[in-house]
Amino acid sequence: QLYQLRGRVGRSNRVAYAYFTYRKDKVLSEVAEKRLQAIKEFTELGSGFKIAMRDLTIRGAGNLLGAQQHGFIDSVGFDLYSQMLKEAIEERRGDTTAQDKFEPEIDLQIDAYIPDTYISDGKQKIEMYKQ
């Protein structure tokens, strides 16, 4: 909601700023801190989807078929969570058309280390390893 409010402040022909404040003695929860950090981090135009995905990882997707509204999507990732949910629904419906799973194993026998001469920045190197 804060992101939506921030988006209403400026328009295409005007630059505007939104300042969100809270009481000095107010102790924010860890979740609130993470949400504010996401708003602070994603400032470019069209960041709504990124903020929504960050919020989804913070609070978790929840049990979509039950009463619980929290979960641990961050521990498995959104794609795997979606796949697991789809498979659980198919299994519950008794859908027997699901194919046997094939899990390939690829062993390249190479060193995947990125030398400092190629990427010197440690943060950027870690991002490349993640990708």
Tens digit of pLDDT for each residue in 8-38? 666 666 666 777 788 888 888 888 888 888 8
d(CA 86, CA 92): 10
Structure confidence at residue 74 (pLDDT):
58
Q: Which of 2-11, 42-51, 71-80 has the lowest mean pLDDT?
A: 2-11
DSSP 8-state code for residue 44: S
pLDDT at 92 over 80: yes
d(CA 87, CA 65): 13
Give the N- to C-terminal CA distance of the chain in Å, as an integer.
31
The stretch 82-89 carries a mean pLDDT of 82
Please state the φ and ψ torsions of residue 128, each to the nearest 5 degrees. Answer: -65, -40
The stretch 53-67 carries a mean pLDDT of 66
Residue ranges per domain, the chain? 1-59, 67-93
Structure confidence at residue 44 (pLDDT):
75
CB 88 within 8 A of CB 76: no
* Helix pair 2-9, 48-59: axis angle to 10 deg: 160
Q: To the nearest whole number, what is the mean pLDDT of the chain?
A: 76
Structure confidence at residue 8 (pLDDT):
62
CB 88 within 8 A of CB 98: no
CB 55 within 8 A of CB 38: yes
d(CA 5, CA 35): 14
